[in-house]
Amino acid sequence: MARVETLLEKLLIRVDGGGSQQRDSKSLLDSVETSPESSVTPAIVTPAAATPTADNVPVLSLFGNEALGFQRSGTVASDFTSYGTINRDWGRLRRELLALVPSEKTLKIISEASSTWWLMRVQVFDNHDKTLLPSSVQELSHSHPAAVGKAVLWTALCLQQLPSGFDLPSLELPCLPWVLVEECVTRVSTFVCSDDSIVSCIDGLECLVLQGLIFTHGGKLRSAWLCNSRAANIAQLLGFHRAEPAPNESAEYQHRATFIWRHILIVDRIFALILGMHGSISNTAIDQYQSNPSDSQDSPPHHESVMNPLARIAGSVIERNQIFKEVTPAMLQMTQSIDLKLQAFIPPPLVSPESAPPGKNIERSLCFRTLFFRLWYYQLMAWLHLPLLLASGSDEFYYYNRQTCLHACRNIIDCYVNIRRTTEDGFNSRTLDFLAFTTAMTIIINALRPSSAHDFTKEDYLALDRVVAILEQLSNSAPQDKIATRAVQVLKLIKAIGMGIEPPPLDESEGNQYENGRPSRIKLDIPYFGTIYLERRVILGYSTRNIAALSALPPTMPSTTLGQYYPPSSGMDTIPDPGYANEEVVETAQWADTGLSFDQPTEFWALNSEFTFQPPFLSDYDVNWDYWDMML
């Protein structure tokens, strides 16, 4: 017993000594407050007030045990060590960050060049301030480092969203805008976001959220996911996950905390679905945050009574994807259960920005929010049914899943085009462009499916034309958008085949094959869908409608009866987009046939697919951690 007491005493001395050392040392707050230039520095939220109480943690009760002769101190030691911030030159840190901020003239030009950064500010933070920086550079030179970092990231986000063709020399920047954006993100990440002592406050969390936004729109989903996961952990330590976050703070502070946590929660679900991850925030957190069930669904789309149920449904889709790697009766039952919840939810109507005045205004911000919420709803629907569409082949058992997935894809493209119109074609988001590409590929792959002529409609032609037109415009921008460039190449290649046009020259080293100077086999590696082979078949006496007999058959499914899981008459019709009634859309030539064919009826292209539906983002780390260049 004496030995146990000795060990406990040594442990207590070590624990208490470490805490005393921290309390005796100058903390970040003390360093800032004693600095001659920090007279207006806002206080950092102390961990004792920010972290949920730990009085009931079982292991800590050991040090408050009278039987052992120890009494635990009434103060709570800091959870965020300040070892990395001791003896820091805060004035120099601020100066190095503020050196990245352009002149006031340039800030005014870039803030007026596009309204996209402001629309995102309203959507994410519910902040309607139209001034790019909340304070002047002079005021920021005495502010908390997280506040300075946030100002730098707002500048970077605004530069990232400059419209294509903008007069760059007028900005008088020391380097190209996208180079400055990278430098801003790198420096804020090094000086602010990597230091727990600095980032563990509400301004620090907003820094992480802004950094995640820049990563997301730049196509760096892995970095964005890591950034959002860190923000989720710190937000919970600050208590933002509670139904009433920071009860001792002001109403404005609680409002900011509410929107930060809501954004973190939704983004966590989106990234988990795209990257094939487990969600890092449980449904319990959503339930605690759930508003009154009697709230109307007519509430704004950012309201918790509207968004949280979709976040919970997204969690169910994530769970299904993690449990099942192939189509089974149990997987179908779970899909049906999720689908019933999704169908019971009424999304907001498709809105058009034509009625909203240009620039930064409430009408345009509401349109932006509504379109993103509608996009989120139909993206969940598409992700839910996509595995069954890919496995369906010509099996009419999956008719409902195919039609529901296609219905969702058409609505996603409508939302995508309207979002770009809402931002007046100034929205630069590689992630959104990639989702539009995969949606268009879903429609095309279904058209390649045997006996799919009845699924491909005139609206599908128009939808694909819209996506191709937007991606082609983005591929010609500076810097070159590699995702848009590769996506356009894939879509144009398949579309050329469908129109009966000879495809452009192909690289045989990539798996493409030629016979007699003409392509006989085309290989396409497409994320989410796996590898697609299009093979030229020479068959005399067959029409293109007999493609079903020559295509690779999908895996056989368990013996079931039609309607066992889905009603046979539950197919959905295409909902036309009223917003495009008067829009002039440049259409390409009408496709020759919904079956892919050449020189009818002697030749046609047969589909031989190896669909995997396993997101390949987590592979090939040695090639590149973030960009999709390795796949597109």
Q: Which residues of 220-239 are buried (b: 16+ CB within 10 A; e: fewer)?
A: bbbbbbebbbbbbebbbbbb
Burial of 456 (0-12, 13-18, 19+ CB in 10 A): buried
φ, ψ at 591 (rounded to 5°): -65, 140
- Residue 83: what pLDDT? 37
Q: Is the pLDDT of residue 134 over 70?
A: yes
Q: Answer whether residue 533 is part of any domain.
A: yes
In this prediction, residues 63-76 reach a mean pLDDT of: 44
- Residue 248: what pLDDT? 87
- Residue 486: what pLDDT? 80
- Residue 142: what pLDDT? 92
Domain boundary among 154, 174, 201: 201
CA distances to 76, 227, 250 from 29, rounded to whole Å, are 17, 24, 20
Q: Per-residue confidence at 604, pLDDT binned at 50, 70, 90?
A: low
Q: Answer whether residue 227 is part of any domain.
A: no
Q: Answer whether residue 447 is part of any domain.
A: yes
In this prediction, residues 333-354 reach a mean pLDDT of: 92
Q: Is the pLDDT of residue 602 over 70?
A: no
Q: Per-residue confidence at 536, pLDDT binned at 50, 70, 90?
A: confident
73 secondary structure, DSSP code: -
Q: Answer whether residue 275 is part of any domain.
A: no
Q: Per-residue confidence at 52, pLDDT binned at 50, 70, 90?
A: very low
Q: Answer whether residue 243 is part of any domain.
A: no
Calculate the average pLDDT of the chain: 74
* pLDDT tens digits along 225-276: 999 999 999 999 999 988 788 888 899 999 999 889 989 999 999 999 988 8
Ramachandran area for residue 383 (φ above 0: left; ψ -120 to 50: alpha; else beta)? alpha
* pLDDT tens digits along 74-96: 433 334 444 344 557 888 999 99
Q: Answer whether residue 344 is part of any domain.
A: no
* pTM of this structure: 0.74
Domain boundary among 201, 220, 241: 201
Q: Which domain holds residue 159?
A: 91-201
Q: Which residues of 98-108 are buried (b: 16+ CB within 10 A; e: fewer)?
A: bebbbeeebbe
Q: Is the pLDDT of residue 621 over 60?
A: no
- Residue 164: what pLDDT? 83
Do the beta carbons of residue 523 and residue 532 sit within 8 Å?
Answer: yes
> Pick the residue with more confidence: 565 or 492?
492
Q: Per-residue confidence at 548, pLDDT binned at 50, 70, 90?
A: very low
Q: Which residues pair with 536 in a beta bridge?
A: 605
Domain boundary among 135, 170, 201: 201
In this prediction, residues 448-468 reach a mean pLDDT of: 77
Q: Answer whether residue 22 is part of any domain.
A: no
Type of residue numbered 56: N
- Residue 150: what pLDDT? 96
Q: Is the pLDDT of residue 290 over 60?
A: no
Q: Which residues of 255-277 are buried (b: 16+ CB within 10 A; e: fewer)?
A: ebbbbbbbbbbbbbbbbbbbebb
Number of folded domains in the chain? 2
Q: Answer whether residue 152 is part of any domain.
A: yes
238 secondary structure, DSSP code: T
Q: Per-residue confidence at 630, pLDDT binned at 50, 70, 90?
A: very low
Q: Is the pLDDT of residue 19 over 60?
A: no
